[in-house]
Structure 1
Amino acid sequence: MKRFEQLAQDLADLIRTGTLRPGERIPSVRMASRQYNVSPSTVFRAYYALENLGLIHARPQSGYFVTSLTSHALPEADVPKREARTTPVDVSELVFSILRAMREASQVPLGSAFPSPNLFPLQRLARSMARATRLMDVNSVVADLPPGNLQLRRQIAVRYGISGVSVPVEDILVTDGALEALNLCLQALTQPGDKVAIEAPAFYACLQVLERLQLQAVEIPVSASGGIDLAVLERALQQHDIKACWFMTNFQNPTGVSLESERKRQLVELLHQHQVPLVEDDVYGELYFGHQAPVMAKSFDRDGLVLHCSSFSKCLAPGYRVGWVSAGRYQERLQRLKLMTTLSASIPAQAALADYLEHGGFDRHLRALRGRLETQKNQMFAAIDRHFPAEVRVTRPAGGYFLWLELPASIDSLELFRRAAEAGISIAPGPMFSATRSFAHCLRLNFGHPWSPELEAAMATLGRLLCGTFRPN
């Protein structure tokens, strides 16, 4: 890391942790040059980098100041304060109807579940694909059936090692994206009618998997400050025969919130006491802001009860549909299910990703991607401050690319969704993230697209809709 990058990172960490507070003046270029023993040009480059992230701004004749990222911060999500209860899942019709309305290519994709493909090194991946297929051993077409391409699994094991988690190569199963890994996990752990603890709000695909497998949801509240409510989960484990938990521990979809490391340890210990497996959906774990990677719950697993699932779709290769699971004591069971269903993820795609991970500069790409996503998050925060009513509250995620907004209680987000669609804007209304169709006055926005006049205009239109008359009587 260059000296100006290190200085920018150190100051960014002080801002993110609140040591340098919004509105506070940071050291002048001359003072910072003396304080950090670097040249003024190094300080200028560091400050320009922080400006590009939206973390500081210059005031003429006054110096540089910490930017207030948003005046709409949501300290606590409006989650029903009740005990967990068993809920049959029947959301697919609602979800499919909303997704159908989002398919129009002309719509501004604020409701999309995907970041912009322009953020990914697709041309470099294409070269890896060409190289890998040219050099591919014809025997690998059979040899790379479950558990998957050996070189790719070795590279994934290295990624685990970098995170401080020791996962043997033979414990990694390559899948058709993370969603297949998550499906296989629940199939291995449950039977129709069983109960599964999930988050509230939860990723809508999680709800659809439960519905397809005829499982019952036990909703555990998520707060904007601390993630899942461990106290409610503990009581739920005592009151219900829960067969598995499916949680996103890092940058949860839709809220963007994460469990702190100590709470992850407490979660794993709690599930160990009850011998209930955790399906850890960690597809956004690489998309953290700053230099400190979040700890995965898998790192606290001592008896193989954590099934850690992830993929390259959100951080490197959308469309390649390559994910994986490290399933601990359940690995062999999942591998057999994989053989019985889809047999194998794409052999060329696996080989291409293995080549890229070895030669393509994955960590360099990730650093750039994280910086762009954090900049886009701050640009969306600024647009919310400019255009949305003061009553709107929003989460402040430290990674990923989603914001969760709590609107005034009188606003129906499904009606807002319809009005926004008429204006050429997609949003993701709150009820699609709940087995009980709760969160009617909430919505999710995607900041995974480079900021543009079109996005600015869409946010202004949403603000006008929120300030208007689209409220039920």
Structure 2
Amino acid sequence: MSQQFIYQSIAQTLEHQIKRQVFKIGDKLPSVREICREQGVSMNTALNAYYQLESKGLIASRPQSGYYVVYSHHKFPEIPEISQPVQDEGADKTEQLIADVFSVLGTETNVNFSLGVPDPKLLPIAKINKSLTRAIREMPHNGIMYDSIQGNQKLRNQIAKGSISWEGTLTEDDLITTPGCMGALSYSLMSITKKGDVLLTESPVYFGVLQLAQSLGLQVVELPTHPDTGIDIDILEETLKKQKVAVCLLVSNFNNPTGSCMPDSHKEAVVRLLENHHVPLIEDDLYGDVYFGNKRPKSCKSFDKSGNVLWCGSVSKTLVPGYRVGWIAPGRFKEKIISTKLYQSVSSTSIVQEAVGNFLETGRYENHLRKLRHTLHANSIQYLKAIGNYFPEGTKVSRPTGGFLIWIQLDPKLDTAILFQQALKYKISIAPGRMFTLQNQYSNCIRLSYGMTWDERIDKSLKVLGMLAKQMILGFQTNTIK
């Protein structure tokens, strides 16, 4: 085992013991020398294990004394309840909130907790630039001509090889490239639905899905969703029995906005259930590579035996947001997707797809992901600690095990659309919960991104958000909003 994996293994063991309270808050951990002796590792390896725990906010060093536990999960807020969506439409408010939030996203002076991509500082910009230069130099005609309708062969080959991480068996011929994951979702819905069809999805759900469905004239039915395990399978089954459904769309791993991850057993059950009802499943697996555990969670596509799952992915959230490089493994709907792509875009942007293919081919992507996962995992713990310290009593927060988004549930009387406007005065942008539904609900919720580099500015901004929320609640109690 490499030194890198040895220190990670030691850190994971200690982290597990801390979270199970084998080591409680205030306890002193074994000294570095003791770790070296017990584990048979070098001083550098032992220190790296402690540095990793320290970066996650689990332990702290005391000069001349050693390392001590500073983490207590009892200080973290509770998780939100399972959603109970009502079909009481209010789409106009959703659209207005989305427009308000997007109007300030380009303001670099703001702390953009609402931004759904990682901080550029966390992305390997110089290395991807080298891959782009190589693509221009090596492609026929320097990449200015049309590419195959299915998309860049090198990229499709690398995605197919990578499917082994979730026990997929894809080949490059199973894949079609798209303009980002939204392109994959768009091609899917345009290919297999018609105006008036019913689309089942989670609630809350990414607002882009809602806007897309509305533009296609689809009826969106939002189903109860648990912040840990995703969609309620029993309610899904009841709904399939009661009404005619054209398609189901789910974010299987580290959902946007709640961060939920469907257990593998749930994924298999959903695949079989939809297959039995002859309802296609569009799987948005955009965040699957950003897991905090020891291995990548499976996809719904892992259990697909009949080609009923359209598996969609992208590198927009992990590598190059602006390149808009995505893909879809459409199963039995391949010819329909190709036809849709043909009249929507004719071809793909060949140079950027080749550049991403080059990057994946070198093995740099997995190295980058390891660093990104570590940073985001550490960030998630820092956010939970800050929210527990600064936000009003009774605040509830999801516990994502991957991705970079968390869902916060505040006092039922608090309107986070107003909180959004108040926070802007302090150059802080958040995503109000009402954006993630077409119904009149989640007005007391917000989605925050922990994809930025953790520093004092982020900590202070969370403190300000907590202060504003407390002031609003105090205003309700005194009938004077401050």
Indicate the residue corresponding to 2:24 in structure 1.
23
Shift of 1:369: 0.9
Structure 2 counterpart of 1:220, one-letter code: L
Residues 1:246 and 2:249 aligned together: yes
Residues 1:291 and 2:294 aligned together: yes
Q: Deviations over 1:193-231 (max 9, x none)?
A: 111001110001011011111111111111123211111
Q: Percent identity, please.
A: 34
Indicate the residue corresponding to 2:69 in structure 1.
65
Indicate the residue corresponding to 1:458 in structure 2.
461
CA distance in 2, matches of 1:421, 1:86: 29
Shift of 1:93: 3.3
Shift of 1:373: 1.1
Indicate the residue corresponding to 2:338 in structure 1.
335
TM-score normalised to the size of structure 1? 0.93
CA distance in 2, matches of 1:414, 1:267: 34
**Structure 1 residues 453 and 140, CA gap change in structure 2 (3 angstroms):** closer
Contact 2:187–2:341 at 8 Å: present in 1 too? yes
Shift of 1:421: 1.2
My pick for the range that moved more, 428-437 or 220-229, is 220-229
**Structure 1 residues 40 and 236, CA gap change in structure 2 (3 angstroms):** same
Shift of 1:63: 4.5
**Structure 1 residues 92 and 16, CA gap change in structure 2 (3 angstroms):** farther
My pick for the range that moved more, 260-269 or 134-143, is 134-143
Indicate the residue corresponding to 1:2 in structure 2.
2
Question: Unmatched 5+ residue regions in structure 1?
Answer: none
**Structure 1 residues 28 and 273, CA gap change in structure 2 (3 angstroms):** farther
Indicate the residue corresponding to 1:75 in structure 2.
79
Equivalent in 116, 119, 122 of residue 122 of structure 2: 119
Shift of 1:103: 3.7
Q: Deviations over 1:228-261 (max 9, x none)?
A: 1111111111112111111101110111111111
Indicate the residue corresponding to 1:105 in structure 2.
108
Q: Deviations over 1:274-293 (max 9, x none)?
A: 11111110111111113211
Shift of 1:389: 1.9
Indicate the residue corresponding to 1:309 in structure 2.
312
Q: Deviations over 1:32-55 (max 9, x none)?
A: 444433345532331222212333
CA distance in 2, matches of 1:200, 1:388: 24
Residues 1:133 and 2:136 aligned together: yes
SS in 2 for 1:349: helix
SS in 1 for 2:117: coil
Equivalent in 405, 409, 429 of residue 406 of structure 1: 409
Structure 1 counterpart of 2:158, one-letter code: Q
CA distance in 1, matches of 2:119, 2:22: 31
SS in 2 for 1:319: helix
1:55-454 matches, within 5 Å, as: 55-58=58-61, 61=65, 63-65=67-69, 67-68=71-72, 71-77=75-81, 79-80=83-84, 91-138=94-141, 144-359=147-362, 361-454=364-457
Shift of 1:403: 1.0
Shift of 1:430: 0.6
**Structure 1 residues 119 and 283, CA gap change in structure 2 (3 angstroms):** same
Structure 1 counterpart of 2:234, one-letter code: A
Structure 1 counterpart of 2:246, one-letter code: K
Shift of 1:192: 0.6
**Structure 1 residues 174 and 11, CA gap change in structure 2 (3 angstroms):** same
**Structure 1 residues 200 and 371, CA gap change in structure 2 (3 angstroms):** same
CA distance in 2, matches of 1:99, 1:21: 45
Contact 2:77–2:394 at 8 Å: present in 1 too? no
CA RMSD, aligned part only?
2.4
Structure 2 counterpart of 1:121, one-letter code: P
TM-score normalised to the size of structure 2? 0.91
My pick for the range that moved more, 144-153 or 298-307, is 144-153
Contact 2:165–2:296 at 8 Å: present in 1 too? no
Structure 1 counterpart of 2:315, one-letter code: F
**Structure 1 residues 464 and 21, CA gap change in structure 2 (3 angstroms):** farther
Q: Deviations over 1:337-357 (max 9, x none)?
A: 001002223111011111111
**Structure 1 residues 152 and 165, CA gap change in structure 2 (3 angstroms):** same
Question: Unmatched 5+ residue regions in structure 2?
Answer: none
